[in-house]
Amino acid sequence: MATVLDRPALTAAAEALSDKLTALRRSIHLEPELGLHTPKTRDKVRAALAHLPLEWREGPSTTGLVATLNAGKPGRSVLLRGDMDALPMPEETGLEFASQVAGAMHACGHDSHVAMLAGAAELLCQRADSLAGEIRFMFQPGEEGWHGARFMLEDGLLDPLPDAAFALHVMPTAHGGVVAGRAGPLLAAADRIFITIHGRGGHASMPHQTLDPIPVACEIVGAFQTLVTRKFDAAEGVVLTVAKIAAGTTNNVIADSCELDGTIRTLSPKARARLKEEVTRLAEGIAAAHGLSAEVRIEEGFPVTICDERAVELGEAVTVELFGPQAFHRWKAPIMGAEDFAYVLEKVPGAMFFIGVAHEGADLASCCGLHSTRMVLDEGVMPKGAALLAGLAERFLAEGFA
């Protein structure tokens, strides 16, 4: 029989933290930090939670933090994660607490993730006497392409590995308070491709005396589209995008080389490995057919984010218990974005969920999405996120994946 959460007490306690969560989120939003080292954000987290009975760990590779709550009773262990870094982009929201750092913005909601995780820590510390086991709060920098979760794992900050792990991400284009997730692949693996086509430049009026890399580059880009649709099952969810082409200096000079820069998104390790092979073979083969050469380099990014079915079922049950039957939505298909919580889920069974943060009455079609310079969120949803994280931990400690 499922452990019954004390819904009124938990949600009321979370709402009582609303002002604190908003203040912490806005303080972080004002001073966004990039990459693996976010010392100001780290210090704000430590200060916000300094009054709680938490044990803190830090590692050498990042400014990431793991705070542990142990009530002294033996039991299971569970990890809750919130990411801390911002994006290298300007802010155009017009908010009174908009970024004061030129070229940096919390456009992915990580400031709210930190606030919700801090709120969960407060709630669970308040309820520590009724808990058996250990809860770890992972405040992680370097999610935006920097592999922060992997570094924290390599630093041993999660050792011994917990029995389960959960994360929550905001979605500004979804109804406020609605939680979504799915079992299996939730988000894609993301790799970056760099291709340099080496030719021989010359005068643009005499192309026959050159080995022009630009038409070869165009042929490769076109062939990539055929590759995806003819070599892979449409249900596999493979995306190959060349987002940048660079060559030449002026209108009447054929360049010696041309560079392509793009992204590969896949939903399985098998498709990921195969696509890398196909991309390399195709680029090199097309270049060679024209007497040129292609140098292909693939920079490995995040793996596929795969959610455990048992963890998703637990998340759905907790969401429904806290917020009602209409509050949880199971996605039928994955999102082709990527997330470095995938590194944790490779080693620990768990799940990531999304929570809608659109303002009440907003036209979802016109809401600015993640990574927009004008992305905003309803801060009134953050107590719900904190309650959900706390509820996930409490239910797992009591029952595991029952």
pTM above 0.85, yes or no: yes
pLDDT at 401: 93
Mean pLDDT across the stretch 370-395? 96
pLDDT at 1: 46
Tokens of 282: 């195709």
The reported pLDDT for the residue numbered 4 is 59
At 39-91, the pLDDT tens digits run 999 999 999 999 999 999 999 999 999 999 997 788 999 999 999 999 999 99
- Residue 149: which pLDDT band, with cuts at 50, 70 and 90? very high
With a pLDDT cut of 70, the percent of the chain lying above it is 99
Give the pLDDT confidence of 168-196 residue by residue, as tens digits.
999 999 999 999 999 999 999 999 999 99
Going from the N-terminus, what domains does the chain have, and what CATH number goes with each?
7-186+305-399 (3.40.630.10), 189-299 (3.30.70.360)
For residues 165 and 346, what is the distance between their CA atoms, to the nearest angstrom?
11
pLDDT tens column, 318-346: 999 999 999 999 999 999 999 999 999 99
> How many angstroms separate the Cα of 170 from the Cα of each of 1, 140, 377?
31, 16, 8
CB atoms under 10 Å from CB of 27, counted, come to 18
Show Cβ contacts of residue 12 under 8 Å, excluding neighbours closer than 6 positions: none
User: What pLDDT does 3 receive?
Assistant: 61
Task: Return mean pLDDT, the chain.
Answer: 95
Mean pLDDT, residues 363-391 = 94
- 237 closest CA partner among 182, 288, 284: 182
pLDDT band for 238, please (50, 70, 90 cuts): very high
Quick: pLDDT tens for 84-132.
999 999 999 999 999 999 999 999 999 999 999 999 999 999 999 889 9
